[in-house]
Chain A
Amino acid sequence: MPVLGKIFIFENVPEHNSVKAFYNELEAWGFLVFCTDNLYCFLQYAGEIKPDIVILHIPNDFHPDKQTWKIVEESLCRNKYLQIYANIPYRFTNYPNFHYVKFGTGTLKKEQILSIIKKNQIKYLH
């Protein structure tokens, strides 16, 4: 099966079963999936992976400092990734190519994310 694209996910609970199921679904769909629960590593490896899509799942109780966010934003804005932010504070997401998904419970809603990817894949993927 041809590779549809690369997805790099920042997820604070990557070992959760629902998250694993979501990755499996993305893989079955033809994506290469990369994941980290460390923002520093997310930036470090984004340059190596060169993802087509980044998904940042940030829970409401996760508060990285402003400097960290600035570095994350600058790094992501340099690239034309399709960016999907989940639960991230809204004031940090005013950039092109981004989609904001709000979850009340803090769990990843794969249907919402998959629909965004489906809607955008022709525009952003090779």
Chain B
Amino acid sequence: MSAKIINGKKIAEELQNLLKKDVAALPSAIGLAIVQIGDDEASTIYVRNKLKAAAAVGINAVLHKFSEDVSQTKVSSLITKLNADPDVNGIIIQLPLPAHLDEETLLESIKPEKDVDGFHPLNIGRLQNGSDKALIAATPKGILYLLENCGIDLCGGNALIIGCSKIVGRPAGMLLLQKGCTVTLAHIHTKNLPELIKNADIIIAACGCPQTVKAEWVKQGAVLIDVGINRLNGKLCGDIEPAAIQKASFITPVPGGVGPMTVAMLLHNTYEAYLKQKQEKPTK
């Protein structure tokens, strides 16, 4: 039984190189608007990475930055303006938002066709229905891309997803269900986690709790996807114990596994949004 460490960084780079060629072949430019509110340090880093990656593939990304105390009306009017702008194909509101802003209302105000984060209820509903019109959240879409890129046979497998957040766990569950997996979603109230892990062929750990998945529970030959990035004793670690590699057939490292795929998939979503708006067929 061999174990392969999935190189998410390399796969993301390859995807971005393909995307760069596809973007260059389009008749007009792709526009992405990023809305950032406040100066949250982590958000600033994420936004900078998105801007840099967009520029690298030839997408025109523009940052719209507001101060921490901006009013809901002011942000809403910008979203309305961006929704109407034909040069803007994708809109991202960088989360988290300051407490005085109504996050749900703002996310729902984005035109679903431009919602490249895939957070709009219409896109979530389309994903549930298996519609190809859906723009799917970047992280679960990236996870599926990694699994398929590694040639992992998903149909008929037992998939366990630990953590049922709206942006990772739940959409990842829907995607795997559509690929023929028997999906179990575990969460904070799940009582028999070790038993569920022992029975899982594919484990997606996205609970944000360091080394929740113990190596001793993992089934021989399981595929392990680690979404968590935590700090433990000063070192970065995931939600899966590194020693689980002894039993895995595939494992994503932390860092360098799922993380790099998220930005790549966000750009891919922007490209897809452009094609859907122009009613052209994607090449990939």
User: Residues on A close to B: CB < 8 A?
Assistant: 14-15, 23, 26-27, 32-38, 40-41, 44-45, 48-49
Contact = CB atoms under 8 A, between A and B. Distances in A.
B243 A34 contact: no
Contacts of B4: 14, 34-36
B245 A34 contact: yes
B2 A40 contact: no
A45 B2 contact: no
Q: What's the dominant secondary structure at chain B's contact region? A: mixed
A48 B242 contact: yes
B3 interface: yes
7 contacts: A35-B3, A35-B4, A38-B10, A38-B253, A45-B5, A45-B242, A48-B245
Interface string B1-26: 11111010110000000000000000
B49 interface: no
Pick the most buried of A14, A15, A33, A36: most chain B CB atoms within 10 A of its CB: A36
Interface residues of B, number: 15
B98 interface: no
B2 A35 contact: yes
B250 to A, nearest CB: 10
Contacts of A26: 2
Nearest to A12: B10
Given A36-B4, A49-B245, 18 more contacts: A14-B4, A15-B151, A26-B2, A32-B2, A33-B1, A34-B3, A35-B2, A35-B3, A35-B5, A36-B253, A37-B5, A37-B7, A38-B10, A44-B253, A48-B242, A48-B243, A48-B245, A49-B246
B2 A23 contact: yes
A112 to B, nearest CB: 20
Interface in B92-121: none
Contacts of B243: 48
B130 interface: no
A78 B10 CA distance: 29
Contacts of A41: 5, 7, 253, 256
A35 B7 CA distance: 10
A48 B246 CA distance: 8
Interface in B204-229: none
Contacts of A38: 5, 7, 9-10, 253, 256
